[in-house]
Amino acid sequence: MAEPAAITQAKQEAAALRSLIDDVEDQLDAAIEEYNYAAAMLAQTAADAEATQALLSQAEADLQRVSAQLSERLVEIYKYGQLGVLDALLGCGSFSELVDRVDWVERLSGQDAQLLAEVRTYRDAKIARSVELAQQIEAQTTYAAEAESARVKVQERLVANEKALTGKEAQIAQLVKEEAERQARLAAAAKKAAEEAARKAQLAARAKAKARAAAQSAPVSVPASASTSDVVSIALKYLGCKYMWAGSSPDGFDCSGFAMFVYKQVGVSLPHSSRMQYGCGVPVARDRLQPGDLLFFYNPIHHVAIYIGDGKMVHAAGRGKGVRVDEVPTRSYNCACRIIR
């Protein structure tokens, strides 16, 4: 008997929602990795700022020292009445204005002119470096905030779509229930046959799921050196761990957090950003891949996996998927690098 049109339409709408959720989950993965990259860059800029603070302190000390020397000379000029220079001094409203005047430099001795040039140099260097540093921090802070805002928006879209799917599935369940009741009233025997078929289908689905899980959990034998073999074996220990945004422990991983955690177990420290992890190794052509190599996907990069050999990879696949083994896809593949050589 043909399925009622209302149920068919509801199922089609649910399938469309599931497809949309898959697309939004990919967008969320990209937004998460964009935020990870922005956060890592902000941390790096902050570290640069701390290192630069010593240079700013030295520039301030140099400025104070040379300014004091120039001030002493100006007192001498005033004291001994070098009138041409004195007139220039009296025409300035501040010490900074005096330093910027050019018309009276020729009236100074060579030593005095050199002092003035040093004051200008140290002052301008301090101002330029301070402005540059402030602009860098402001830009990175804005970048990180925008990345987080984008992630939140994608997350909100995902939640809204999942809520819509839940409602649609409830509608399907209600329609199926009503149809089942109608069919039961028409023929009890037909209902019993349908229940038996459903029971068998459920058993078959469970058996298929168990077989698939067993296949995914089987250890993969790959020819590799001891260190890269350790990377693969450690990664496979965490099959089934759940996916968690910004996660980097067995309680939950995102893609770059999983790669970072696995390599940390063999003594290699990687940043928590797939884009930055690519820069930590030597680029490798796809036909030269070896177990333990890192695989990167999309452009710009926003997903990373660990190659385990035989065209397969292990990775934190996404929300609702967790850590699992998959075939290396062709459509989204970007590049690869080798960390342990």
- Which amino acid does the sequence have at 79? K
241 included as an active-site residue: no
**Which of 272, 302, 303, 337 does the annotation list as catalytic?**
303
Residue 24 falls within a domain, yes or no?
yes
The CATH number for 296's domain is: 3.90.1720.10
Q: Are 322 and 243 in contact (CB under 8 A)?
A: yes
294-297, strands of its sheet edge to edge: 282-283, 333-338, 294-297, 303-309, 312-316, 323-327
Residue 199 falls within a domain, yes or no?
no
Residue 334 falls within a domain, yes or no?
yes
The CATH number for 99's domain is: 1.10.287
Rounded to an integer, what distance in angstroms lies between the CA atom of residue 101 and that of residue 107? 12
Rounded to an integer, what distance in angstroms lies between the CA atom of residue 125 and that of residue 159? 51
One domain, residues 34 and 129: yes
303 included as an active-site residue: yes
Q: Regarding beta strands 312-316 and 323-327, do their DSSP bridges make them parallel or antiparallel, or are they unpaired?
A: antiparallel
Q: Are 204 and 57 in contact (CB under 8 A)?
A: no
What does the DSSP assignment read for 82-131? -HHHHHHHHT-SSHHHHHH--TTGGGS-HHHHHHHHHHHHHHHHHHHHHH
Tell me phi and psi for residue 29, to 5 degrees: -60, -45
**Which of 241, 272, 302, 315 does the annotation list as catalytic?**
315
Q: Are 231 and 281 in contact (CB under 8 A)?
A: no
Residue 193 falls within a domain, yes or no?
no
Rounded to an integer, what distance in angstroms lies between the CA atom of residue 180 and that of residue 128? 77
**Which of 255, 302, 335, 337 does the annotation list as catalytic?**
255
One domain, residues 161 and 246: no
Residue 214 falls within a domain, yes or no?
no
Sorted by sequence, the CB contacts under 8 Å of residue 295 that are 6+ apart come out as 289, 304, 305, 306, 307, 313, 328, 333, 336
Report pTM: 0.53
One domain, residues 17 and 140: yes
One domain, residues 35 and 157: yes
Mutual angle of helices 110-186 and 5-80, in 10-degree steps: 170
| Boundaries of domain holding 228 | 219-338
Number of structural domains, the chain? 2
Q: Regarding beta strands 323-327 and 282-283, do their DSSP bridges make them parallel or antiparallel, or are they unpaired?
A: unpaired
- Residue 84's closest CA among 71, 66, 103? 103
Tokens encoding 245: 């945004």
Residue 209 falls within a domain, yes or no?
no
Q: Are 247 and 239 in contact (CB under 8 A)?
A: no
Strand locations in the chain, DSSP E?
Answer: 248-249, 252-253, 282-283, 294-297, 303-309, 312-316, 323-327, 333-338
Per-residue pLDDT of the chain (341 residues; tens, 9 = 90+): 667 788 888 888 878 888 888 887 888 788 788 888 888 888 887 777 776 666 667 766 766 776 676 677 666 665 655 544 444 444 444 545 554 544 444 445 565 567 667 666 766 777 787 788 788 888 888 888 887 888 888 888 888 888 888 888 888 888 888 877 877 888 777 677 777 888 888 887 776 555 344 333 333 222 345 489 999 999 999 999 999 999 999 999 999 999 999 999 998 999 999 999 999 999 999 999 999 999 999 999 999 999 999 999 999 998 889 999 999 999 999 999 999 98
* Final residue in a domain of this structure, among 125, 142, 165: 165
315 included as an active-site residue: yes
Q: Report in angstroms the alpha-carbon separations of 234 from 199, 261, 271.
A: 39, 10, 19
Q: Report in angstroms the alpha-carbon separations of 124 from 71, 91, 94, 311.
A: 18, 23, 17, 58
One domain, residues 161 and 224: no
Residue 159 falls within a domain, yes or no?
yes
Residue 188 falls within a domain, yes or no?
no
Buried b (16+ CB within 10 A) or exposed e, 9-48: ebbeebeebeebbeebbbbbbbbbbbbbbbbbbbeebeee
Q: How many CB atoms lie within 10 A of CB 246?
A: 15
One domain, residues 131 and 232: no
